[in-house]
A and B are shown apart, each in its own frame.
Chain A
Amino acid sequence: QSALTQPASVSGSPGQSITISCTGTSSDVGGYNYVSWYQQHPGKAPKLMIYDVSKRPSGVSNRFSGSKSGNTASLTISGLQAEDEADYYCCSYAGSSTFVVFGGGTKLTVL
């Protein structure tokens, strides 16, 4: 069982927007602004999409955005494209004993 809870799957049609939630506790997501999101295509390494809750690395499309409210972080993808179909993982710093926890992952299907 993963420390952070994500929906197992989400889907959307091209051009639509979807949001993936990531629920933790006050000891991880709610306690720090150190939430990151990763995209993983089959057989590939994860790719950083969002860090520090809402910052985008250079080269990542501005269709990807992140936010946080309380113990829940969210990743929103707007203008869905076929290439966005992948697994998405959230990750949070969890203090100086546990350090890092990941969510169980969400499979995004572009219909």
Chain B
Amino acid sequence: QVQLQESGPGLVKPSETLSLTCAVSGYSISSGYYWGWIRQPPGKGLEWIGSIYHSGSTYYNPSLKSRVTISVDTSKNQFSLKLSSVTAADTAVYYCARHRGNWYFDLWGRGTLVTVSS
């Protein structure tokens, strides 16, 4: 079955760049769908960060757009998130997820906790 798995450093220093990768298994990214990132600060709600279409078109949360880059590597069947100039407010569980054009997220990774601290 289709699975998503996040990976990346669990600790990032303030002002540095957070980098995460989502590996997709059981489905070829280049076959379709949108692929997104969503985060959840400890004890708080969900926040959509951004998404990428298999063709490479990107869509970002306006409140994070200036700091976010999402890219796709079809050869490795994975997509990635970079969030620059992080602060403690960026501490969260980061999820990768799949969605369709009507913007419902039907498949999620297990999530990875990223802590921003010196």
Chain A interface residues toward B at CB < 8 A: 2, 34, 36, 38, 45-48, 51-52, 57, 89, 91-93, 97-105
User: Dominant SS at the B interface?
Assistant: loop
Question: What residue in chain A is nearest B109 (Cβ atoms)?
Answer: A45
Sample 5 A-B pairs with CB under 8 A, ordered by A number.
A38-B105, A45-B95, A45-B109, A48-B104, A102-B46
Residues of A within 8 A of B15 (CB): none
B103 touches A100 (CB 8 A): yes
Whole-angstrom CA separation of A89 from B51 in the bound complex: 19
Contact A91 B108 (CB under 8 A): no
| Set of chain A residues within 8 Å of B108, measured between Cβ atoms | 45-47
Contacting pair B102 A52 (CB below 8 A): yes
Report yes or no: A104 in contact with B45, Cβ–Cβ below 8 A.
yes
Chain A residues with CB under 8 Å of B104's CB are: 34, 36, 48, 51-52, 91
Question: Is residue B59 within 8 Å, beta carbon to beta carbon, of the partner chain?
Answer: yes
